[in-house]
Amino acid sequence: MKKSTILYINIAGLLIIGTVLYFALRHDHNAEDGHDHTEKTTSENANPEKEVELNEAQFKAAGVELGTYSLKNLSEVINANGYTKLPPQNQADVSVHLQGVVKTISVIEGQFVRKGQVLATIESPEFTKLQEAYLTSKSNLEFLSQEFERQKTLSEEEVNSKKVFQKTKAEYQIEKARYNSLKQQLNVLNIQSGSTAVATVPILAPISGYTTEINVKIGSNVEVGKPILSIVDNTKLHVDLLVYEKDLHKVKPGQTVQLVLTNQNNTAIRGTIFSVGKAFENETKSVAVHADINNEKNALIPGMYVNALIDIGTNAVNALPVEAIVKADGREFMFVLEEGHEETAHDTEKGHSHEDGHQHDDNEANNFHFRRVEIKTGTSQLGYIHVTPLQKVASDAKIVLKGAYYIQSHLLKTEGGGGHSH
């Protein structure tokens, strides 16, 4: 009985020792294997960069355009909108000073005219009456001038009374004033003060510019104060922008403005603020800010709608075209060309295969390899967006400016369709 008990104890001890050794060895193997897997998974998650390969034909079909960052002042701008506008001194309504009938019209709408050019002619009997009065006054003035000098001499010699001299002097001065008045009226009507009376007078352009809104035709009766036509001089065209009260303190004369003509294929022009209004516009709580246009103004006309970015900062930021940015899995990316990355691992034979099961030819040597880099974006204005890469990118790296969506779709296709991506 004693020997059997010892035997059972020994067997139980051996079983316990074996069990402990078995689990200890199994734990070490699992720990080592789990460490490798965890490191691999962590490494994959920490590096979201992916590479995609395009052959030369795909590169050309995608219309890929390479470049680098553009320095844009996108961080400190004020958005505004407004219209192109002409100052009042560069606009003119042409009218008449006496009622008459249109005899001729020498221009059409949209025609360029110079200051002093004949626009039309007006006929009226009032013109002849005015010239008749002028010629009569001129004749009377000559007589009274001689009589005034004669009476002045007699008065000084005390041959004639002072009363007669004073009366002659008054008549002379009244006629002189009348004569000067009639002469000025003829000048205003563009009538030459000659000896021959005319019934037709020319209407001259008061400024140089383009004719608009011709309101009469031949035979039309024109009245005083009603415009015959209008002229605009677009060389002094500027932009009136509406800036709200909260941004008003940031706007100052001399700041540059980027102007976009939204209804003219988003044509971009530049301007400079030269004046800031001192009163609110109606009930909008906005103030008119006036900006001169630096570009050629001939193609612009008053009343064009513009969007504007007023540059209030001095720090430029790295920016890319908006189309250079792609989105995937809730993140944003750009593509960078890997310089000198070529397929050097191909077999020397004409045909060879990779592990993905696809056949590759040696004529694929002109392949383009792109690395997808995660970025953080900022302000977006005028087709550009502020970009900050989250991975290291060389300062001279070639970035995809156009064709990024094609490369992204190719990447998704190769990942989902069994194709290979590096």
Residues 45 and 38: their CA atoms lie apart, in Å, by 11
Sign of CA dihedral 13, 15, 19, 22: positive
Residues 135 and 227: their CA atoms lie apart, in Å, by 30
- Of 248, 243, 247, 270, the closest CA to residue 259 belongs to 270
Q: What pLDDT shows up at residue 37?
A: 44
Q: What pLDDT shows up at residue 417?
A: 47
Q: What pLDDT shows up at residue 230?
A: 94
Residues 394 and 401: their CA atoms lie apart, in Å, by 16
Do 109 and 212 contact (CB within 8 A), yes or no? yes
Torsion of CA 328, 334, 337, 343, to 10 degrees: -10
Angle, CA of 120, 121 and 125, to the nearest 5°:
155
Residues 343 and 364: their CA atoms lie apart, in Å, by 8
Q: What pLDDT shows up at residue 195?
A: 65
Angle, CA of 135, 139 and 144, to the nearest 5°:
140
Write out pLDDT tens, residues 196-224.
778 888 999 999 999 998 999 999 999 88
Residues 317 and 315: their CA atoms lie apart, in Å, by 7
Residues 118 and 287: their CA atoms lie apart, in Å, by 41
Q: In which residue ranges of the chain is pLDDT below 50? A: 1, 29-47, 342-364, 417-422
Residue linked to tokens 């074996």 = 18
Question: What pTM value is reported for the model?
Answer: 0.53
Do 209 and 232 contact (CB within 8 A), yes or no? yes
Do 260 and 308 contact (CB within 8 A), yes or no? yes
Write out pLDDT tens, residues 350-364.
444 444 444 444 444
Q: What pLDDT shows up at residue 355?
A: 44
Q: What pLDDT shows up at residue 18?
A: 66
- Of 323, 339, 340, the closest CA to residue 398 belongs to 339
- Of 243, 234, 208, the closest CA to residue 302 belongs to 234
Domains with residue ranges and CATH for the chain: 50-74+316-346+356-416 (2.40.420.20), 77-88+236-311 (2.40.30.170), 92-232 (2.40.50.100)
Q: What is the DSSP string of 267-305?
A: EEEEEEEEEEEEEE-TTS-EEEEEEEE-S--TT--TT-E
